[in-house]
Structure 1
Amino acid sequence: MTSCPALFISAPSSGSGKTSVTAAIARSHARRGKHVRVFKTGPDFLDPGILERASGRPAYQLDLFMGGFAHCQQLLAEAAREADLILVEGVMGLFDGNPSSADLAATFGLPVVCVIDASSMAQTFAALATGLQRFRADVHHAGVIANRVGSPGHGRMLLEGLPADLPLIAALPRQPQLSLPERHLGLVQALEQPELDAQLDAWADAWEAALRPGLAFCPVEFHAELEPPLPPLLQGRRIAIARDAAFGFIYPANLDLLRELGAELRFFSPLRHEPLPDCDAAWLPGGYPELHAETLRSHPTLAAALAAQVAAAKPLLAECGGMLALLDELTDAAGKAHRMAGLMPGRAHVQPRLAALGLQSIDWPEGPLRGHTFHYSTLDTPLQPLARATNPNGGKAAEALYQQGSLRASYLHHYFPSNPQAVAAFFLNAPA
């Protein structure tokens, strides 16, 4: 049992400012020498990149579906043993989804603070805040944060009607210049924002200036059973992993798992035209190949090296954007068609509307895995699916899993800790 101050930052809806507030608190503490660990609720690659830069440490996912209770419990307990403060950013609204942010906060006894966009309300702010507080008795609220406040007078109006047990922690002024650029339904990747650190410091400054007296981060008891170490099933195996602005969608927990299984990880950047490292297996994660199609296409050796990988029956996993980079052709959002690596037959087209979104569960030949899907492109391929995913919430997204020799490809972003043995079996010896 380990005790550590912790706070769960949620909101009534997406777009309220959860990420900026979480990042501001993290940066404020980190620049004072505090060890801050930040988690993100649910599947997400973009917010965690911002939170990692803010805290100086990798931001992990907490997801009761993808990882399960024991995995989330273990992550929190490990963080509590080393951290001065744990922050968890929610997803969507506090009660949205199944499992929801409220489910996660209640499960682990995390005190909740809701960030409410107060830009178009006055006394109704208190009604909304108290409604969130009283909706579920098993969720403890430590206070509320007003975001995008117009003036000090506006801030005073927001206080009216708040009960004594729901204090206004901070009233953050509206500052459009502090907004981060967005792409699709999320933020632009942290590594694509050269001014991000200055922005994070400005957020921290705004947080410290707006913070009202009396905020106390409540200690939370974290407990987890000591898990036996995984057998080193990938001992001696070298796995090459693409990692740059075109292939940046990587869960830190996936990398941890591969290392725990004994694999040696070798990262390379296709955008910098780095060659595929000498390896026993390779992984092309998701990202934005459509934004860098010409650069990827002009890589002098990558397509041939990946083809040789498959010809030698060495495992190659391609997820979402990684899969798009292997197709015959990819048409970007502007309607321009690009020749791609040609390792997987088919064509994809990036469209302005969302094509698929949701949690996914899929049966690999080696065993079941969990993950999620999120993409704006559609795929046309003659390959027949090896398997098809299901959505636990009954959503329409049901992604196909394709196999061609030792190449396995899907729109799915897999969460490796959901089945370490299946992941190890694939990277050890993919079906040919």
Structure 2
Amino acid sequence: MSTAPPIYCPALFLTAPASNQGKTTITAALARYFTMQGKVVRVFKTGPDYLDPLILAQASGQPVEPLDMWMAGEEHCQNSLYEAAKTADLILVEGAMGMFDGEPSSADLAARFGIPLVIVMDVKGMAQTAAAIAHGLATYRSDVMVAGVIANRCGSERHAQLIRDALPKTLPLLSSLKRDDEVSLPERHLGLVQADEVKEELEVRFNTATQWLQNTQDIGLLTLPDAIPFYPAETKPEIIEPLLADKVIGIAKDAAFSFIYDTNVMALESLGARCVFFSPLKDAHLPDVDGLWFPGGYPELHTQALSENLSIMQDIRHFYESGKPILSECGGLLYSLDTLTDLEGDTFPMLGILSGQGAMRGKRGCQGMQTACLPQGEVRAHAHHRSRSDNTPDPIGYGRRQRHPAPGEPIFQEKGLTASYLHLYFPSNLTAIANLFSAAAKV
């Protein structure tokens, strides 16, 4: 623990027995509710996630950072919370999957940073059993503190009362929320729909959700929790050399390419790079840049538009032939291939700077934490895709899975191009990222 004085800030960590309990909807509703009360709300999302943070950022009006001790590092997470506490009136953390799932789990994070947990439960089809499950979660480990329970999709006040009476006095029912489809967030095959696509619809749902919160018979969720201490990490801040000084990095950003951590952009800027955004969907030509980054996203939903933007595709091919650095991640990998077959089975030509064909494959897919073992250095990363790529060149290597000995995602490097299904977390190895976006990226 740091010897520096702490900063105190109210905080809650929203967790659940499993996925699909309503954590994101309730976190967004709370963020909007307290924001409407004039409070500054900073939200964090555990684990690798691009879509939920966009929703939560719109709800809170503040940037949302990932919180994962494996991917980002324990000290990075600690300092991120400490910096947020300097300006926030409330910190909310949304967990992933169930309370004890993953390494690290939501319980691990809450225990490490001393944040009280709130258990969100879909109580449809059960009453006293919900109390038993919540009690079991709350007492499973002695190093976590559970502040209470949110009964989501509760059928009636009688239903809520049965759960309330069955809970021990040390585990209060903070809120009982009725089933309401008007506050649920829209979804598609990789998770939630991107916030930019449904901004106006989300605003309606956020406003409906704040009223939904206020209609509960329990008021414990609508008062700020007690403030807890947040400490800075003990080690001195890393001195970052401007290894990308005078470099301009072009970042694809539009409806097809949007899986971008703000911390990755900030990492490039901390290395001295200037970041500019462009749209492979709408822009006729590339901006004048020294390197390109095609992040993940939903190119499979925009195959025809991407294939018809011939002028920017030609610019990108010339850029590739010049040997300048290009990073293509997941959706960016699919865009780099010769063709992409979309969800309807239609095939369209893509960039063709990496041999192979990409195709969507329904509900089957791959996900998980991996280390990208690059010649430039090892970078923490993760995979999440429901597509395949065939007839690609021999990879230079594979991702190393967090907990499994089998090879991870293949990694391709040709000329200045680095392509993989892996989404890299840049702050985990700034030197490697600098090498990737410099002349050292050429293989």
The TM-score normalised by the length of structure 2 is 0.95
| Match in the other structure for 1:313 | 323
Letter in 1 for 2:179: R
| Match in the other structure for 1:360 | 370
Are the structure 2 counterparts of residues 287 and 349 from structure 1 closer, same or farther at C-alpha, using a change threshold of 3 Å?
same
Residue 229 of structure 1 deviates from its aligned partner by 3.8
Letter in 2 for 1:90: G
Query: Secondary structure of the equivalent of 1:296?
Result: helix
Residue 213 of structure 1 deviates from its aligned partner by 3.2
* One of 305, 311, 315 as aligned partner of 1:301: 311
Query: Secondary structure of the equivalent of 2:413?
Result: strand
Asked if the contact 1:270–1:302 (Cα under 8 Å) also holds between the matched residues in 2, the reply is: yes
Query: Secondary structure of the equivalent of 2:258?
Result: coil
Asked if the contact 2:372–2:424 (Cα under 8 Å) also holds between the matched residues in 1, the reply is: no
* One of 109, 112, 117 as aligned partner of 1:112: 117
* One of 199, 207, 219 as aligned partner of 1:213: 219
Structure-2 separation of matches of 1:102 and 1:333 = 37
Letter in 1 for 2:231: H
Asked if the contact 1:230–1:260 (Cα under 8 Å) also holds between the matched residues in 2, the reply is: yes
Cα deviations by residue, 1:18-52 (Å, 9 ceiling, x for unpaired): 00010011000112221111000000111111101
| Match in the other structure for 2:164 | 159
Asked if the contact 1:39–1:61 (Cα under 8 Å) also holds between the matched residues in 2, the reply is: yes
Which deviates further from its counterpart, 222-231 or 367-376? 222-231
Cα deviations by residue, 1:320-368 (Å, 9 ceiling, x for unpaired): 0011011111111221111111111100110112221100112111111
| Match in the other structure for 2:128 | 123
Query: Secondary structure of the equivalent of 2:383?
Result: strand
* One of 331, 338, 351 as aligned partner of 2:361: 351
* One of 188, 194, 209 as aligned partner of 1:189: 194
Residue 116 of structure 1 deviates from its aligned partner by 0.4
Query: Secondary structure of the equivalent of 2:369?
Result: strand
Q: Does 1:82 align with 2:87?
A: yes
Letter in 2 for 1:219: A
Letter in 2 for 1:109: G
Query: Secondary structure of the equivalent of 2:297?
Result: coil
How many residue pairs match? The answer is 432
Structure-2 separation of matches of 1:275 and 1:33 = 43
Asked if the contact 2:182–2:208 (Cα under 8 Å) also holds between the matched residues in 1, the reply is: no
Query: Secondary structure of the equivalent of 1:113?
Result: strand
Query: Secondary structure of the equivalent of 2:207?
Result: helix
Letter in 2 for 1:25: L
**Correspondence 1:36-115 to 2 at 5 A:** 36-115=41-120
Query: Secondary structure of the equivalent of 1:255?
Result: helix
Asked if the contact 2:398–2:407 (Cα under 8 Å) also holds between the matched residues in 1, the reply is: no
Query: Secondary structure of the equivalent of 1:270?
Result: coil
Are the structure 2 counterparts of residues 396 and 184 from structure 1 closer, same or farther at C-alpha, using a change threshold of 3 Å?
farther
Cα deviations by residue, 1:232-266 (Å, 9 ceiling, x for unpaired): 11111100001111001011110111111111010
Flag structure 2 segments of 5+ consecutive residues without an equivalent.
1-5
Are the structure 2 counterparts of residues 151 and 239 from structure 1 closer, same or farther at C-alpha, using a change threshold of 3 Å?
same
* One of 231, 241, 245 as aligned partner of 2:241: 231
Q: CA RMSD in A?
A: 1.4
Cα deviations by residue, 1:72-131 (Å, 9 ceiling, x for unpaired): 111111111111111000000000111111111111111000100011111111111111
| Match in the other structure for 2:3 | none
Asked if the contact 2:48–2:66 (Cα under 8 Å) also holds between the matched residues in 1, the reply is: yes
* One of 7, 15, 38 as aligned partner of 1:10: 15
The TM-score normalised by the length of structure 1 is 0.97
Structure-2 separation of matches of 1:353 and 1:216 = 40
Asked if the contact 1:273–1:300 (Cα under 8 Å) also holds between the matched residues in 2, the reply is: no
Letter in 1 for 2:209: W
Letter in 2 for 1:128: I
Residue 284 of structure 1 deviates from its aligned partner by 0.4
Asked if the contact 1:171–1:210 (Cα under 8 Å) also holds between the matched residues in 2, the reply is: yes
Identical columns (%): 47
Residue 144 of structure 1 deviates from its aligned partner by 0.6
Asked if the contact 1:237–1:262 (Cα under 8 Å) also holds between the matched residues in 2, the reply is: yes
Are the structure 2 counterparts of residues 258 and 117 from structure 1 closer, same or farther at C-alpha, using a change threshold of 3 Å?
same
Q: Does 1:431 align with 2:416?
A: no
Letter in 2 for 1:237: K
Are the structure 2 counterparts of residues 411 and 211 from structure 1 closer, same or farther at C-alpha, using a change threshold of 3 Å?
farther
Structure-1 separation of matches of 2:131 and 2:117 = 16
Asked if the contact 1:98–1:393 (Cα under 8 Å) also holds between the matched residues in 2, the reply is: no
Are the structure 2 counterparts of residues 327 and 237 from structure 1 closer, same or farther at C-alpha, using a change threshold of 3 Å?
same
Query: Secondary structure of the equivalent of 2:56?
Result: helix
| Match in the other structure for 1:201 | 207
Query: Secondary structure of the equivalent of 1:160?
Result: helix
Are the structure 2 counterparts of residues 192 and 345 from structure 1 closer, same or farther at C-alpha, using a change threshold of 3 Å?
same
Structure-1 separation of matches of 2:190 and 2:238 = 39
Structure-1 separation of matches of 2:210 and 2:262 = 25
Structure-2 separation of matches of 1:300 and 1:392 = 40
Which deviates further from its counterpart, 155-164 or 204-213? 204-213
| Match in the other structure for 2:265 | 255
